[in-house]
Amino acid sequence: MAGGIWKNQNKKRPGAYINTVGVPQDKPDTTAGRVLMVNGVDYGWGTNGVIELASDSDFKALIGVAQTDAKAITIREALKGAVTVLLVNANAGTKAAITDDALPWTFNAKYAGVRGNNITVSILKDPTDTTKLTVTTLLDTVTVDEQVISTDGATALTSNDYVDVVTGDAATVSTKLAALAGKTTYKLTGGTSDKGDVTELLADAMETREYSVATTAGYSVDSELHALLANLVKRMRDDEGYKVTGVVPALVTDTKYNDEAITTVVNGVTLMDGTVLEATTAAAYIAGASSAMDGSGSLTYAIYPNAQDATPRLSNTAIIDNLQKGHLVFSVKRDGDVVVEEDINSLTLFTADKPSYFAKNQVVRTMDEIANTVQTTFEDQFIGKVNNNTTGRDLFKSALITYMTDLQNANIIQNFVEDDVMITAGDDKDSIVVDLGAQPNEAMEKLYMTLTVK
């Protein structure tokens, strides 16, 4: 009896030669719900670069403030819709530290920045058992770590989320541990903050991280960084083929963007507790909510969570004027809900290549989703793996037909037929040309009704 696996059909003995393989699975969308944010806040703590934050993250350990702190407000608003905020944190300073001849350790702040100067380490010898020490790390006056160690070295002190512990040689440590008495407190010093060049960090993050929406929420409306973000988004879309979008705050008179990939927010909201969120903060919510949306839905008339008013509340004329200028605005329904008036972007000058429906973010999300998925499918399953012949091109066409059919079943597109996908050989032997037609769905927005009274 013969058997086993096979690579070529060249076996000599009779038998069953069986390979077991899995069906290739589409990769999940790793960009959904992810917002890349640079907000202009100097936290004086955290990684110099990108920090990933979710609703259940330890904000204090990662950026030095609690999630409820005013400095975290743009992140908090984005997380009302987003799953993850990728915070671009400019923090290229020096680390605070404790170095004392009486200590068997050196304490270095986990990150650079002035926030490290607010860390204190307290060492308490147990009055009833002198072989035990309690080492407590505090940020401001709050305990963030506590460890009980032994003076004989059996239980060693380890680093935590706030300080890195450097231990000396064993003999020195033993001697100094035995000499420690009572309670001693040490404060970290020498931490400095240096914001460095945030534009370089932003550009690098946009090219190397996975996200669906980028935002400069938090910067003042007149900051030049908003235009920089818009240019970086355009570069990512046109040069890298990575279909991302941007959300920026803008002045009501601002018409400089005119881009289907850039959404401009011109007013804010007042929350139920009286907190006033200006346009630049409310833009963070739009970025987060947009990141979690696909082409099956729209933010038009989406309710702003926990808001009691639009700020400023615009008149009917002002709302129409801003919509015509391509601005996203918040308005108040008759029942008091604060809503997104219309889910639009800043495109206002329409052409044959960019007709009026390109101004609808739902349509743009659908187009981007298709473009990103087709690119990923080609890169992961076909480049270097499938020959450029009739059979290979038919395989790619079949994959696209399956994907587009799934979109139609999900009510994201309509009227799709297999002939909407055409794949031919390109000018070079290793290239193909794809013509793909799609009709994105749009959510209902206007009701025109005639009521006949009999």
Question: What's the farthest any 2 CA atoms get from each other in the chain?
Answer: 101
What is the DSSP track for 65-88?
S-TTSGGGHHHHHHTTT-SEEEEE
Q: Is 294 helix (H, G, I), strand (E, B) or coil?
A: coil
When pLDDT is cut at 50, 70 and 90, the band that residue 135 belongs to is very high
Report the CATH fold assignment for 34-90+196-340: Ribosomal Protein S8; Chain: A, domain 1 (3.30.1370)
Q: How many residues does the chain have?
A: 454
Query: What number is the average pLDDT over the span 175-179?
Result: 81
List CB contacts of 164: < 8 A, sequence separation 6 or more. 107, 108, 109, 110
Determine the residue type at 15: G
C-beta atoms surrounding 349 within 10 Å: 10
What is the structure's pLDDT at 131?
81
Q: Is the dihedral of CA 398, 400, 405, 410 positive or negative?
A: positive
pLDDT at residue 196, as a whole number: 79
| CB proximity list for 21: less than 8 A, separation 6 or greater | none
Contact 288, 254 (CB under 8 A): no
Q: What is the pTM for the complete model shown? A: 0.88
User: 211-253, pLDDT tens digit by residue?
Assistant: 999 999 999 999 999 999 999 999 999 988 889 999 999 988 8
pLDDT of residue 10: 61
Say what the pLDDT of residue 252 is.
85
User: DSSP string covering 231-280, please?
Assistant: HHHHHHHHTS----EEEEE--TT------TTEEEE--EEEETTS-EE-HH
Query: Cβ(442)–Cβ(412) under 8 Å?
Result: no
Joined tokens for residue 112: 């650079």
Residue-wise pLDDT for 394-419, tens only, equals 999 999 999 999 999 999 999 999 99
Give the C-alpha separation, 87 to 47, whole Å. 10
- 313 contacts 330 by C-beta, under 8 angstroms: no
Q: Please state the φ and ψ torsions of residue 173, each to the nearest 5 degrees.
A: -60, -45
For 359-389, write each residue's pLDDT tens digit.
999 999 999 999 999 999 999 999 999 999 9
330, 339 contact by CB (below 8 A) = yes
What is the per-residue pLDDT across 248-275, written as a single tens digit (0 to 9) for each?
999 888 888 999 999 999 999 999 999 9
Q: Is the dihedral of CA 204, 220, 92, 165 positive or negative?
A: negative
**Would 34-90+196-340 and 95-187 be classified into the same CATH topology?**
no
Distance CA 82, CA 287 (A): 8
User: What pLDDT, on a 0 to 100 scale, did the predictor assign at position 243?
Assistant: 93
pLDDT digits (tens, 9 = 90+) for 308-357: 999 999 999 999 999 999 999 999 999 999 999 999 999 999 999 899 99
Residue 119 clears pLDDT 50, i.e. is over it: yes
SS percent in the chain: helix, strand, coil, step 5: 25, 25, 45
**Residue ranges of domains in the chain:** 34-90+196-340, 95-187, 356-436
Residue 5 pLDDT > 50: no
Helix or strand or coil: residue 130?
Answer: coil
% of residues, the chain, pLDDT over 90:
75
- Give me the chain's average pLDDT, please: 90
Distance, in Å, from the CA atom of 380 to the CA atom of 354, rounded to the nearest integer, reads 30
Amino acid at 99: T
Q: Kindly report, residue by residue over 9-47, the tens digit of the pLDDT.
A: 565 545 444 454 443 445 555 678 999 999 999 999 999
- Could you tell me where the beta strands, DSSP code E, fall in 104-212? 105-112, 119-125, 132-139, 142-150, 163-167, 183-187
Helix axes 361-381, 390-409, angle to 10 degrees: 150
C-alpha span between 313 and 330 (Å, rounded): 8
Q: Which CATH class is domain 95-187?
A: mainly beta
